[in-house]
Structure 1
Amino acid sequence: MDRRKFIRGVATGAAGFGAASSLAAPALAQSNPKLQWRCVSSFPNSLPALFGASEYISNYVKEMTDGAFTIQPFAAGEIVPGGQVLDAVQSGTVEMGHTASYYYVGKDPAFAFGTTVPFMLNARQQNAWFYRGGGNELLDAFFEKHGVFARPAGNTGAQMGGWYRNEINSLADMKGLKMRIAGLAGQVMAKLGVVPQQIPAGDIYAALEKGTLDAVEFVGPFDDEKLGFVKVAPYYYYPAWWEGGAATHAMITLDRWNELPKPYQAVVKAACEAANGHMLATYDWENPKAIKSLVGKGAQLRPFSQEIMQASFRASQEVMKDIAGKNATFKTLYDSQTAFRGESFLWEQLAEYNFDTFMMIQQRSGAI
């Protein structure tokens, strides 16, 4: 469907889309300024699902504004390193960035809630919390203090637990393990004896190959195959209990956002929401093919043992409780997600879980 024709057809009657009447073309292009923004990404352009989100947003905004508002995406390293996207947006070096907010837990651990927290929500639950559970509003107040406006702009779904040079059969095997891992999961892993490292995507393979790292987690099959980890660390564990539904965000310098005409703000919000769904659909489509390909290349699939899972859960609870006791914003966000998590898993164990389980049994038996 042509988005511009759609807007022309529904702008006068769409009450649910903020300022919809002002989006009618050509009025939008005539009454609002021509703007050119830059968007820096935390991700290399070799990862089309992750970097592709900024491209998707750019194309959406350009199309919806008849080219009056353009956003040029830049991959990690082209303007700033991937780990400095928030800094670039805060300083006004660029107007916009696309990143995972948990990369910045060193600034404030509450940044984790924009992406994911260990043993918390899956992708659908994360979106429910953002859009219906007050999550976006709680994060708005937090992000505003850091000089940015942000919206969810992609989700990977549940991730894999990473690549290991050697098998991890027990907690004893975790001791001294040098592992690339992001967000608060590094603090949890440290309680298990792991030595966490945070390394940009482009540098991970070399560190793993040289033995500087013993293990690495990134996302899942679609991205991991492109990064080539299977060549040097064949044991592929699951699940990533620290990333049940990892979200990315589009971040905009707060002053630039406040100056943006209301119709353009509406377009950007719609573009981010569309990108959010598009990324998850991409991973759901590509991961089944990629996991088969990786197994064909020698990947050895392994589940984390229940000993490791239970110990990780206990360590996670300790870390979360400790941070919440020191950080009021973190506690507010954690309490909100925790309350929803209990209600949501109570529901999900009924229809969704039982349908999925039955269909997986049929798949394993060869019936489908």
Structure 2
Amino acid sequence: MPHLTRRRPDRRLILLLGALAACGPLGTDIYLPSLPAIAASFGVPAAAAAATLTAFIAGFSIGMVLYGPISDAYGRRPVLLAGLGLFVVASVACWLSASINQLIVMRFLQALGAGAASVLARTIARDAHEPGEASKVLSMVALVTSVGPLLAPLIGGQLLLLGDWRTVFVALTLFGAFCSVAAWLRVPETWPREKRANQAVLQSFAAYGRLLRDPAVWGHLLCGGMVFAAMFTYITETPFVYIQYFHISPQHHGRQLSEHALCRPVRRAADDFRRIDAVASGAALFVAFACLTGWGGLWSMVAGLCCVIGVVGLLSANCATDLMSRYPDNAGAAAALFGATQLAFGALASFVVGLFPGISPAGMGWTIGVCGVLGYVGRVLIVRGHGREALALST
């Protein structure tokens, strides 16, 4: 298919790109109410079931780093279609998994496929429109994508009424098949051959090395990454804490996850992210206190978690914007590194919280508390970096 010339926004294409970008959040959130059922089905502890989420996050993180440079070298459309094909095949394999280890491996592969859809949907939206329109289109894509975290847990809880946990993967298979057919028919190639470079992958990895040598970059990664890790700690652990410890039904838990998603601000203004991080760190420490002491019970934890989750999008957007402004010549690599690191921290946090024995809020409290402290360390590194730059400019 010939590549697309830049033109005014196509609402149908925007809806499709939003659905593609939602593959990752949907693949994560829709099966959360099923985690206790998965553990019971295979006769394994909660930590083993939670490892399926960790594997998904790890695969998604790796995919984010790889697919951008690969599509720069070989084009957007073939890489997107290959990723969607992998997502569908892996979803079928998850559905038919005979052991927890097989499910973990298939979830990793499923996430690799979802990574292509999520990353390239935004890249295609940027390619296909003039710079003045691109930001508006990306905002509309983000708005469509935000529907996934709102509806996915609710849908996942209702699917358990229709069958066992495998029903969730049947739904993901059908969703992936729909996206594959729609992408084949409707998504054009947006990256012309004359702009492709076979060395793009190597150049991008060299840029990653330059970024990681800057302490201020690590400040941004910690600041944005730790709030993401706190959110994934919540995503991993609350199915067990809410359903098994506080005896909330899976359907009610799905509704609570959807309500928590409403805490996320839709508008992403250029606010002072250092102040936002202070709010996130303070809320994380409050959650840790509530979980470890039991003060206020469930609703105290819910209120604190809502504050943490409420700033995830805003803090992440502002950290990423400041980081890309710091490295304008490597903005793509900076954005990919930031996104991949967020997911890596999320995977690490979901793994660590699964190591705590028993079903109680304690593991969630300790993990989110550490995230709050490390997030504040990131804020300090950013402030010092900006201070050195201001001093250099004044001399």
The structure with the largest helix share of the pair is: 2
The structure with the largest strand share of the pair is: 1
RCO greater where, 1 or 2, for CA within 8 Å and sep 6 or more?
2
Return the TM-score normalized by structure 2.
0.25
